[in-house]
Amino acid sequence: MSLAGTEGSEEGAEHLEPPDPDVLEIDPTCRYIKYKEVIGKGAFKTVYKAFDEVNGIEVAWSQVQIDEVLQSPGDLDRLYSEVHLLRSLKHNNIVKFYNSWIDDKRKTVNIITELFTSGSLKQFRKKHKKVDLKAVKGWTRQILMGLNYLHGHNPPIIHRDLKCDNIFINGHQGEVKIGDLGLATFLERSNAKSVIGTPEFMAPELYDENYNELADIYSFGMCMLELVTSEYPYSECRNSAQIYKKVSSSIKPVALSKVVDPEIKSFIEKCLVPAPQRLSAKELLIDPFLQMNDISMDLGDTNELPVITVFDKYTDDASSCFTCVEIKRQKRGDIFFLKGEENDENSVSLVLRIADHSGRARNIHFIFYLDSDTAVSVSSEMVEQLELTDHNVKFIAELIDLLLMNLVSDWKPCVAIDHLISPNNKRTHLSQQRKLGLANCKGSSKHSIEIVAEDLSCLTPAARLAAKENLDNMDIDEALAHECSDVKIATKADDVCSEMSYASATTDFNDNKMSMVSFMSAESAFDRGSQSSLASENGSSPDCKSKFSDIENFPSHSDIDSSLCDHESELKIELEMIEQKYQEAINDLFKRRYQAILEIRRRMLEKMVS
């Protein structure tokens, strides 16, 4: 594959403008223009400033020389696979890849990425001499989140050359991203007699070529050391041989002795220990050093439990649905409202809304990556972006973990949230409830079809035999397809919760009463006018009926103290409204189910008669 030069192809030459002297190349799609301006240079790579004509933005064009690597067709195939992997990476702390291609004639790999106007983290730190520890912690968290994302792949993606020169920052936002990924495997082949990487940042095991993703953690520790001291590790050494000798002998750089703060020094040393003792990126993210001060709670935190709602939301055409969770909690007069939706199997879309006592509200939307993010790391970023006090980090982290526990199966929180869950409100996960509900639905539906068969007894023996054969071959799911469609549309139109909703702020559920979650997993609630008609279908028992009565009367417990505060009264009213919506929704669902069964019954009778 060859690149299109500035002179263009013969076919379109007549339409090209006069060549720009500042332009070096144009990519094969004629979308990206590479300028002469060099913004970075390494042993194997040169980075140029480029322009994306379609989006009208400046980008970075990296060109890597691989002429000694491509010695066989198999090498080229592996290189294509590596480039394809780089293009698939998507994370807030990984440099965004726009396009890439291999020029097998010029023996180069060309990669188009986003451009960082503030340059590398090394350049940024050199420019700004005085940086507060809080800023360094913010950068540290972002680097670790990027590493956690890379190492979470199977097999793990190892950077192999992590250093501050390869970490980039948008200075106006404080956004940090890891760049210069991949291709290290292939570059190693082109320089077999020497070790690829930057000796000052290389883990000892890299020299022995027996390493895993924890080699990146060692390099990360050296990055931390440079950020704190503004000094290159092992700057006291004159050459790479001296560095190798010290590294292989486990002699730490002199710069480490210049770190005065014992907590910072301890955190860096955790990254520089031998590989078997090193912590992973995910473990470092919850290290006390990154949580200190940020994770504390002020004395004014509310003891009230949050109000949680879990429901299914349908698409506009009602063809599919996705699960949503909403959490509402108050703190010092401010209302924190967190909403989460399933984005895909690896991420969740979250929206945080904070309304103060004066009515002003702030909103922030972000993507939570399940395989790399933690509640603390994300809440720390949110606090910084919204300019909230550090005490809010733990408060928001608790909300995030609580939401994910209700949305994601087997989610393990990184902060303690047991105090936010009522001890009597134990529940199964949403997916388990769906399976239980589906099994109950199929069982009762099959029983309903048997009732239809009994009603055909008035037909002739031959007709009854045909009806029995049709019913035996009938797919229950297919028979109820019209019903399911009606339910989806109704749910969307009425904007009701069709799975479960509960308020863990209400802690007085006892063992003899049915929680809202259990209420939604049952299948016996219907309007009073249809109770006698549907009793045989739903298998309702007097005991189950009494439980529903308890739920209906729940908001008006006689033992509630008359001296409740105003906010408790408001919460009670809100719970009553939620319960009313559920009663209406359940009644409507079972009405439609009953109508669907009658429709099946009518169609079967017509078919048998004809």
Q: How many helices (H) and strands (E) are present in the chain, helices listed first?
A: 20, 14
538 touches 446 (CB < 8 A): no
Q: Residue 328 half-sphere exposure, CB side, CA atoms within 13 Å?
A: 13
Range of the domain at 245: 121-291
Of the candidates 347, 600, 592, the residue with the CA atom closest to the CA atom of residue 489: 592
DSSP 565-585: -HHHHHHHHHHHHHHHHHHHH
The per-residue pLDDT for 302 is 54
| Token code pair at residue 386 | 């919204």
CA distances in angstroms from 292 to 151, 248, 264, 285, 394, listed in the order given:
25, 33, 11, 12, 11
List alpha helices for 160-291, DSSP H. 184-190, 204-207, 214-229, 240-248, 262-272, 281-285, 288-291
Any domain includes 300: no
Cis amide bond preceding 18, omega within 30: no
Out of 180, 216, 401, 588, the active site residue is 180
* Cα–Cα nearest to 145, from 405, 379, 364, 385: 379
Same structural domain, 239 and 220: yes
Q: Quick check: 161 and 197 in contact, CB under 8 A?
A: yes
Return the pLDDT at 197. 67
CATH number for the domain spanning 238: value is 1.10.510.10
pLDDT score recorded for residue 214: 94
| Best CA proximity match to 110, nearest among 59, 170, 160 | 59
pTM over 0.75: no
| Residue 549 phi, psi dihedral angles, 5° rounding | -65, -40
Same domain, 202 and 130: yes
Query: Measured between alpha carbons, how far is 67 from 28 in angstroms, rounded to an integer?
Result: 20
Which residues, in sequence order, are bridge partners of residue 321?
314
425 lies in a domain?
no
Q: Which amino acid is at 517?
A: V
Domain final residue, candidates 393, 418, 443: 418
∠ CA(275), CA(278), CA(280), 5° rounding? Answer: 115
Residue 470, Cβ density class (10 Å: 0-12 exposed, 13-18 middle, ≥19 buried): middle
User: Quick one: 253 exposed, middle or buried, by C-beta within 10 A (0-12, 13-18, 19+)?
Assistant: buried
For residue 595, what are the CA distances in angstroms to 73, 183, 491, 524, 526? Answer: 65, 62, 16, 16, 13
The residue ranges of the chain whose pLDDT is under 50 are 1-16, 185-186, 188-194, 292, 294-300, 426-442, 444-445, 456, 471, 475-560
- SS3 assignment, position 382: helix
pLDDT score of 523: 36
Using DSSP's 3-state secondary structure scheme, residue 316 falls into: coil
Kindly state whether residue 302 falls inside one of the protein's structural domains.
no
Is residue 298 annotated as part of the catalytic site, yes or no? no
pLDDT score, position 276:
92
pLDDT for the residue numbered 551: 38
Same domain, 478 and 596: yes
Tell me how many domains the chain contains. 4
pLDDT of residue 533: 38
pLDDT value for 68: 59
State the Cα–Cα distance between residues 604 and 610, nearest whole angstrom. Answer: 10
The reported pLDDT for the residue numbered 54 is 94
Residues 39 and 60 in one domain: yes
**Does residue 174 sit within a domain?**
yes
Same domain? 169 vs 246 = yes
Last residue of a domain, one of 291, 324, 358: 291
H helix or E strand, kind and range, residue 177: strand 175-178
pLDDT at 467: 53
In a domain, 8, yes or no: no
| pLDDT tens-digit map of 31-46 | 999 999 998 887 677 8
For residue 301, being part of any structural domain is answered with no
Q: Which two tokens stand for residue 2?
A: 């060859």
Q: Name the residue type at position 402.
A: L
